[in-house]
A and B are shown apart, each in its own frame.
Chain A
Amino acid sequence: MDETLTKRSAVRNVKKGKKQPLTWSVIKSQRQLIYMSVPLLAYIILFAYVPVWGWTMAFQNYKPARDFAQQEWVGFKHFKFLFSDDSFWRVLRNTLGMSMINLVLGFVTAIILALLLNEIKKVFLKRTVQTISYLPHFLSWIIVTGIVATSLASDGIVNDILMKLHIIKEPILWLSEGKYFWGVVGASHVWKEVGWNTIIYLAAIASIDPALYEAAEIDGASRYRKMMHVTIPGIKATIVILLIMSVGHILEAGFEVQYLLGNGLVVDWSETIDIFVLKYGIAQGNYSLATAGGIFKTVVSVTMLLIANWTAKRLGEERLL
């Protein structure tokens, strides 16, 4: 009994962020927590820190068959190639563009859908909508792009509907115009992920204290006002945390969807960093260049993450670090 009490108080102290001297008794009282963190620590060391050693490849002319000692060191050659290539800036723009679209659309649609679902009082209807909307999450991109390509074909469902509604006269070749490509990618992402993304918001909404709603009701708040002043502030912390994490993935605009839907006509708008790295790094057997591309992405990701976190802190919001 005593032991559990001390453990709980220790935990609480840590959470409050008060500095506490690290003593054996603290360690002993938290030993379950320490044991629990061992597997995760092992996982992180094994899969996050050990591979960083591979970064040395970016500064070599890496040849797979050779030992580390036999590799030829070339300094920043691969980075120079990367940054001096015209197409690199183009693929960077595409990556950022599509990433921003995915980020904004992903957040806005998921939050709106979660809020709407939350307002549905019929459990059966709510569950049905939720299930149907998150099913596409379990399809792989190769299947999704197949569906997208078929739907957007000149005799596909999208053109059929638009023509039946007399919005367009002739079928639009969606996939042959660069200007549509980002939109197509954004829409495919929303279709695939929106249901899945709502789950976490619905969970956050469920944890809001019902007393707040009751209080709002007594004050005469309408449904809409309750949504604006109780639900949204209630899930704000979740939104901010997820946003910070997503910003860290800003250079992960995806690979499969652009690779599989792209073609010669839209190549200026469809190629992302990942495709560039595949083409000029891995496809050339130039693993060093591929690594250099990877390092660039990591550095940008970490920087963006820190900026987002710092901004959140300045705005007095919940933050990650």
Chain B
Amino acid sequence: MSSKKIEELKKRRQIEIRKKKDQKTYALLVLALWMILLLTFIYTDYQYTSVWIIGLLIGITLQRTRFCFTAGFRDPVLVGSTSILKAIILGLIISTIGFAFIQYFAIGGKEIVIANVPGNIYPVGIHTAVGAVIFGIGMVIAGGCVSGTVMRIGEGFILQIVVMVGIIIGTILGASSFKFWDLNVIKDTKEIYLPSFVGLPLATILQIIALVGLYILADWYHKKNNIML
């Protein structure tokens, strides 16, 4: 949508704008560096190559789509928009199906031993909720979660470098004091893995139904909410 007034303003501004610098050289340089590192990984540590390639593709996707986990959880509250939240839910549905296959082949019809199942299955308890709230407050203030911060540094938003320093400090503090939390809080909680109660196929179907339900709910919320706080 663009009205006559806006078109006029744009035209007036277009004349004043100086020619933009050509950034293709930088792009080629970075791409060359990426290729050199890729070759290094192929010859030294082969398992890093897939991570390196997938990482680049995810980075491009994040940047081009403006996919932002922070906005996904902030915008529904702030502006009543759930378009990014819906994208996150869609992503979860896809990864649920993908991981169902991965875990199905890993379990191989045997008794489920949680420690052997691929995927991040960790003990859940009050520490999960407390951590989520702290992280949530942090990411909204900082204007980005970890992937969003890295992506915005890449596109040149310098403010996020400060955030990155904070992330690194926080991660180091967390890693160095993990033993304390593990002994005092996490030790007493258990992993909850739905397939060990109802079996993998049913657990997958239940999870997809729950996610589709959330998607419909988010869609309804998006249409209903127009007004900001």
- B is bound to A: no
Footprint of B on A, CB under 8 Å? Answer: none
